Amino acid sequence: MDVFLDTFRFVFPSLLILIAVYLMMSSYFDNEDRRRRAELRAQNQRQALPLRLQAYERLALFLERISPNSLVVRVKSGSLSNAEYLLLLQKSIRDEYEHNLSQQIYVSDEVWDYVTTAKSATVSLLNTVSAQLDPEASGAELSKALLGAAMELKQLPTQAALKHLKAEVAYEF
């Protein structure tokens, strides 16, 4: 029995010390792991911030470029017919959109939905205005009718999307 008590007197404190050291080391390593992850997250955010801001800038430019007012100024009607000019305007919007597709990974889903909705609504506005014109109308008549229709709207779809985009930038940064 004395051997058992002697062994217990040596082993029990050793076990207590081993458990205490294990708990301290475990806590230390957990804290170090959290610190490293926080540093990595901060470093990633520092690197991603310029890319995200650039994405917001490019989407703002996209929305400005597809707004009916700037679209008819940028895409000249020349001597095109209504249908030809409509196709040219639609192609311009589609090209702009495809050029900015990759920006969706840097913005929220909500902003991207607003951008795609603005694109679709602008194309829909083009189609509606074109359909209201005489089939023999010229591209110049389409551009005038489009500008008139844009003036009648309280807020263009591109303006609504741009407003939401600006709000998200202000909230995030």
pLDDT tens sequence across 93-112: 999 999 999 999 999 999 99
Q: Is residue 95 part of a domain?
A: yes
Indicate the pLDDT class of residue 71, thresholds 50, 70 and 90: very high
Q: Is residue 114 part of a domain?
A: yes
Instruction: Name the residue range of residue 146's domain.
Output: 49-172
Q: Is residue 6 part of a domain?
A: no
Q: Is residue 9 part of a domain?
A: no
User: How far is it, in rounded angstroms, from Cα 169 to Cα 173?
Assistant: 6
pLDDT tens sequence across 17-66: 999 999 999 999 999 999 999 999 888 778 888 889 999 999 999 999 99
- The pLDDT of residue 48 is 80
Predicted TM-score (pTM) of the model is 0.76
Name the domain count of the chain: 1
Q: What is the mean pLDDT of the chain?
A: 92
Q: Is residue 74 part of a domain?
A: yes
Q: Is residue 94 part of a domain?
A: yes
Q: Is the pLDDT of residue 146 over 80?
A: yes
3-state secondary structure the chain: CHHHHHHHHHHHHHHHHHHHHHHHHHHHHHHHHHHHHHHHHHHHHHHHHHHHHHHHHHHHHHHHHHCHHHHHHHCCCCCCEHHHHHHHHHHHHHHHHHHCHHHHHCCCHHHHHHHHHHHHHHHHHHHHHHHHCCCCCEHHHHHHHHHHHHHHCCCCHHHHHHHHHHHHHHHHC
Q: What are phi and psi of 79, to 5 degrees?
A: -105, 25
Q: Is residue 14 part of a domain?
A: no
